[in-house]
Amino acid sequence: MNFIYSTTVLDASKVDDFKNLSYHQLTSGFLLINDPSRIFEDRETFSVIDGYLHDEDVKDSYESSLKASQSAYHFWPLPENITGSFSGFTIHHEQSEIAIFTDLTNVYPLYYFQKEENFAISNNLILLGRLFQIENDPAGIMQRAIGPNFENIGSRTILKNCKAILPGEKIVFQNPSGIITNKEYDDTLYQEIGSVSRSEKDINRYWNQYKKEVSLCTQISENVNIALSGGMDSRIALGAIQNKKIHAYTFGNPKNYESKVAGKLAKIKGARYSCFQDLELFFPQKRVLQNFVKETESVKLNSWLEILTNVTQASKEPLLLGELCEGLPARNIKIFNSEAFRKKSFFSHYIRKENFPLTPATDENFQQWKKIKQQKLLGWFDDNWFKKLRYSEYKQEIFEATKKDIEEIFTRIENHHLPYLELFDELFSWYTFTRKELSKQVLICNEHFYAFSPGMSTKLLRLTSYIHPNDRLYYRFANQLFKNTPELKKLGQIPTSQFPGIPLSTPDFLKIPWWGIRSKIDDLLTKKLMSSKSKTGRAKFFKGMNWADIYFQPEVSDNMQDYYSKNALTDEYAETFQNLVEKRKDMKAWPFANMDIMSGVQLNLQLNLISEKLDPTPILKNRK
């Protein structure tokens, strides 16, 4: 779903290459939107919601979202009867105010632009940049162009005077001037961490809320789609679907082990199952990428294109995804999930189930953690990249701007007064990697479907954070959830892709050694493949995605040239990734997933689409 609201007239002809945008003149502004069903209004307020936002006490779906959006205007944090995974805005007519707001991790992006008499809100930077001819922001482009995640930090965007709303943030503006009158934040994560228990009551509370979230976000349709993998998070979402016709989708070769696992899970639930593979879509024709970049701004993991280019629907239906932030198994509590710690603590934490040595948080260790984290992030900003992007003259400005952006995230974390040092890493990951990287899985699907991750809703993510870290780590709570929940028991009898051949319900002391053995075998196969430079060699013990295959597709090199045929960055930058493709193609560098390469491609295409419309030339067939 794409929209832009402005207090000044919008020239729709500048963005007529976007699909289905309709023009709405409001009492206090102008709106372009391609899905008017996301508008909720009465005499008091006018709201647009991306994602889902509901009042649990109201049965009617439209009224539920309307009341919830009004609650977001009046109250922050949201009261207990309001939940959802969302971003949006509410105009209050009588108060001449407009409030923008987002959920705890900001899964759905929202941007605001204010300069002189221009004030606008949108969920699409291309719409904003093109309609208002906004200048590029060097610091924002630098952040997007390099690792570790190729994403902006804090409220920074690639456009000047254009900011992104922060996780859990609510901002109130005067309407129509765009002057900020108030900012509030939802700092409720981790505020009610319980004792170490994993009691049946805790498990039932979590599961009942999960089912309620699924019911709320799917109530608009009798049909529910789900992106199904062989992992734990998506089978939890699958188990929570009730009284719906289900269609499960997986990308990759249908003969892959993970695809077969997904098929078995779908069969247990009585769902239709479709699996799609098209290796050419990992480096597709430029026009294919341009359309997805324009409509979703979320091209990165091109596996999703295998599904999205093959699915046609008469109307949009809900699509569920598993929890994005790996909060339930606490995978982002870094120190306890390291390979070294796992090996050292196998008997104490997997066999004897001892508690983890959590460190009480203090101002001193928080400041030290901040220092280390900032150094790691700024370490990516080396002279080589400044030269390649021809930003050497902006070096100091970019460093100082990025420090301020990092500090915005640090401040959001500090305001939670976390009880344990180890939770700093987890919340930082949610506010950066989940927010900017993993959310793309929802966003790229959000044009073809109404894409939701119920596990990221405000109430469910709060509940997740309230579970003691000792219970979440190493899947302790999740294992009990599958063991004690009737809807999940059968799904737990199917192996995961992480532990092939062993049911999910198998005790950890059996699963973990097998995981280690399988990983070692996969490493050996990869080294053998690299040394032989074979195009047909095996990369995994159990058949799975061999990333080498995508670089052997006939159009890869030509398409990489096409992506930068109009270069909004620099030749040196483009050549870096074009050369990397050739190295992986020649097996001189291990052919990892091409998400690093696609990050630069998306940035370049996005900048091009901001500067000019996509011409109506049809997609050409592959060159022979």
Following DSSP, what letter does each residue of 553-604 receive, concatenated? STTHHHHHHHHTSS-SS-HHHHHHHHHHHHHHHTTSS----THHHHHHHHHH
Q: Which CATH number does 200-325+438-454+485-498 carry?
A: 3.40.50.620
Q: Is pLDDT of 123 > 70?
A: yes
Q: Is pLDDT of 617 > 80?
A: no
Residue 507 pLDDT: 82
Fold that domain 3-185 belongs to in CATH: Glutamine Phosphoribosylpyrophosphate, subunit 1, domain 1 (3.60.20)
Residue 472 pLDDT: 97
Give the position of tokens 């050694």.
Answer: 513
Residue 404 pLDDT: 99
Q: Is pLDDT of 624 > 50?
A: no
DSSP 459: H
**Cα separation values, 462 from 33, 254, 366, Å:** 31, 37, 22
3-185 against 200-325+438-454+485-498: fold identical: no
pLDDT band at 520 (very low <50, low <70, confident <90, very high): confident
The residue-averaged pLDDT of 233-244 equals 98
Residue 259 pLDDT: 95
Task: Break the chain into its structural domains and give their ranges.
Answer: 3-185, 200-325+438-454+485-498, 526-611
pLDDT in tens, 166-188: 999 999 999 999 999 999 999 99
pLDDT in tens, 248-296: 999 999 999 999 999 999 999 999 999 999 999 999 999 999 999 999 9
Q: Is pLDDT of 59 > 70?
A: yes
Of the chain, the percentage scoring pLDDT greater than 70 comes to 98
Question: Per DSSP, which regions of 421-489 are E strands?
Answer: 450-452
Across the beta sheet with 245-251, the strand order is 272-276, 245-251, 223-227, 318-320, 450-452
Four-point Cα dihedral 560, 287, 122, 139, nearest 10:
20
pLDDT band at 547 (very low <50, low <70, confident <90, very high): confident
Q: Is pLDDT of 621 > 60?
A: no
53 burial level (CB within 10 Å; 0-12, 13-18, 19+): buried
pLDDT band at 622 (very low <50, low <70, confident <90, very high): very low
Residue 197 pLDDT: 79
Q: Is pLDDT of 510 > 90?
A: no
The residue-averaged pLDDT of 216-236 equals 96
Residue 204 pLDDT: 96
Residue 314 pLDDT: 84
Residue 77 pLDDT: 99
Four-point Cα dihedral 571, 573, 577, 578, nearest 10:
0
Nearest to 77 by CA among 102, 95, 52, 53: 102
The residue-averaged pLDDT of 387-402 equals 98
pLDDT band at 216 (very low <50, low <70, confident <90, very high): very high
Q: How far apart are CA 194 and CA 465, in angstroms?
A: 10
Residue 545 pLDDT: 85
This prediction has a pTM of 0.96
Q: How many residues does the chain have?
A: 624
Q: How far apart are the first and last CA of the chain?
A: 36
pLDDT band at 620 (very low <50, low <70, confident <90, very high): very low
CB 355 within 8 A of CB 196: yes
Q: How far apart are CA 354 and CA 511, in angstroms?
A: 18
Residue 623 pLDDT: 35
Residue 528 pLDDT: 82
